[in-house]
Amino acid sequence: MSYYSEDAKQASDTHAFTDSIDTVLRNLGLAGTPDGTLFGFTSDVLAANGIPLTMRGLPWREVMNNEGTFEATALFGDVIWHATDRMNVTFGLRYTHDEKEFSWLNGPRQAPELDATVAALEAAGFFADPAWPIPPEAYNFDVVFAFPPINGQEIEGQKVKLQDSWDDISPRLVIDYRVTPDVMVFGSLAKGYKAGGFNSVQPLSRFDNEDVWNVEGGVKSLFADIGLIVNASVFYYVYYDKQSISLECPAGEVCRYLIDSSDDEAYGLDVDARWQPVDAFTLTANLAYIDATYKDYVTPGGVDLSGEPTGEPRWSSSLGASYVWSFGTYGKLDLSAMHAYRGESRCNADSQLQGTCQSSPNFQVGESTNRTDLRLAWSSTDDRYGVAAFVTNVFDDQYVTGVNNITANTFGTPFASISEPRAWGFDFRVAF
C-alpha cells in the first residue's frame, strides 16, 4: 500500500534581444516591413530623422509559469502457489488511483527598455504621424509563448487550469518450472501503467494514461562445476498511448514541442552470462536484440509512421572482465573493464525533423557507438574503506547523439548534442 503527494512549481524562461526577435520575424515573414524586421526598421527610421533612440539590442523575456499538485494511491498484492515441488504460480494485482491538477500562466512579454522607448516616442507624437504605418501596440507581442484563445478561453495573462484523474488495475501472472535443481524455465504476462498528464509549455494540453502489456518467456541456469550462469529470455510487448513529445513546426510559427502519443510494439531477445572460472577472475556478457515499431501512429504534423521503426537500434551488447588480487590483512585490489556497444538508430519518415537520425557532410546522427571504461579499486578487508581510480570512455569516442531543430526555421541554427568525452577521476568511501 502506498501514497504519494507532490506540489510542484516551475518557470520555462526564454531570454532574447530585439535583434533575435527581428530575425524570427524576418525568417517567418511576419514583420510586414520593407526589410522584414520590426525593431531594426524602426531604428533605421529614427536614426534617419535624427531621433536619438533605438530599438536594437534591447532585452526581451518570455516566461511560462506552471503549478501542479499530484497525488497517487496504490494497493498491491502478490500470491505464490507452490503447485508442485518444481512448479510455482505467481499472481499479482495492483490498483492505482492518480489525481493531478495543473495550471499555466503565460504573462505578457517583459521588455522594460523597449516599453520605455515606445512610451517616449508616443509622448513625442511619433506615432501620430499618419505616414507612419506601425501603431505603438504592434511592439508588444509574444513570440515563443504566443497562444490565441483556446476553446474560447483567453490564455494571455490568465491563469488556466486542468485537473484529471485516472484509475488502473494491472495484473501479473508468472509460471516457473524447475527442470533440474540448476535450470529453471518461466513464462510471464504483465500489464504496466503510467498516469496521464499535461505539457508544461502547451496550455490546456492533456494526454491519456499509458498502458503496456508484456509477454515474456525464458530460462535461468547455473552450471556450478564450471562457474557459469546463463540467462535468456524472449519478449513481446505492446504500448498503448505511449507518452512522448515531438517537435512540430507549423508554417509561419515558431517550432514547439507538443504532446504526442503512439501505439508501439516490439519483440526481442535478451541473453546475459557470467563466467567465473577461478575465484579471482570474472567475465560478464550481455546481448540484446529488439525490433521496435509503431503499431498505430500519425504525428501531429500528419506523417503516418504506422509500421515504421521507432528509432531503437536492433542490437546492443556489453562485455566486462575483472580480476581481484587479495593481500590478506592489507585488503584487495580489483581491476575491471567494461565495453558497451549500441547499434545504429533505425530511421523513419519523421527522424530528420526530430533530429534523431540524419547524416550531413560533417557528422552522422544515430550511428553505432562504442564505449570502454576502466576502474582500479582498493578496499579494506572489512570493506569499510575504499579508494578507486577510474577512466570513462577510454578511447575518447564521441558521437552526435541528436540534433535539436527547434530554432532551425526561426534562427537558422539547429544545434547538436554530443556524447561525453574521456574523463578520469578518483573516489573515496567510508562505511559507517
Contact status, residue 342 vs residue 314, Cβ threshold 8 Å:
no
Can you give the pLDDT at residue 362? 76
387 phi/psi in degrees, rounded to 5: -145, 145
pLDDT digits (tens, 9 = 90+) for 364-374: 888 999 999 99
**pLDDT at position 200 over 70:** yes
pLDDT of residue 90: 98
What confidence score (pLDDT) does residue 104 get? 95
Q: What is the DSSP letter of 85?
A: S
Asked if 104 and 203 count as a contact pair (C-beta separation under 8 A), the reply is yes
Q: Report pLDDT for 245.
A: 79
Percent above pLDDT 70 for the chain: 99
pLDDT confidence of residue 246: 80
Q: How far apart are CA 236 and CA 17, in angstroms?
A: 51
**pLDDT above 90 (res 303):** no
Instruction: Using alpha carbons, select from 395, 277, 372, 281 the residue that is nearest to residue 318.
Output: 372
DSSP result, 313-371: -SEEEEEEEEEEEE-GGG-EEEEEEEEEEEPPPPP-TTHHHHTSSEE-SS-EES--EEE
Q: What is the pLDDT of residue 209?
A: 95
Lowest mean pLDDT among 142-146, 182-186, 338-342: 142-146
State residue 354's pLDDT score.
81
Residue 190: name the closest of 169, 173, 211, 168 by CA: 173
Mean pLDDT of the region 46-55: 94
Query: What is the per-residue pLDDT for 256?
Result: 79
pLDDT, residue 231, reads: 98
**What is the CATH T-level fold of the domain 207-432, as seen in this structure?**
Maltoporin; Chain A (2.40.170)
Is the pLDDT score of 360 beyond 90?
Answer: no
Checking if the pLDDT of 409 tops 80, the result is no
Q: Are 344 and 328 in contact (CB under 8 A)?
A: no
Output the pLDDT for position 414.
83
Does the pLDDT of residue 184 top 70, yes or no? yes
Question: Distance between CA atoms of 186 and 217, rounded to whole angstroms?
Answer: 6
Please write down the long-range contacts of 131-138, taking CB distance under 8 Å and 24 or more positions apart: 134/33, 134/38, 134/42, 138/38
If pLDDT is split at 50, 70 and 90, which confidence band does 389 have?
A: very high
Confidence of residue 318 (pLDDT cuts 50, 70, 90): very high
Question: Is residue 123 over pLDDT 90?
Answer: yes
Is residue 363's pLDDT more than 90? no
* 253-298 pLDDT, tens digit each: 778 777 888 999 999 999 999 999 999 999 999 999 999 999 998 8
Q: What's residue 252's pLDDT?
A: 67
Instruction: Give the residue extent of every domain in the chain.
Output: 207-432
Query: Is residue 309's pLDDT more than 70?
Result: yes
Mean pLDDT of the chain: 93
Question: Residue 428 pLDDT more than 90?
Answer: yes
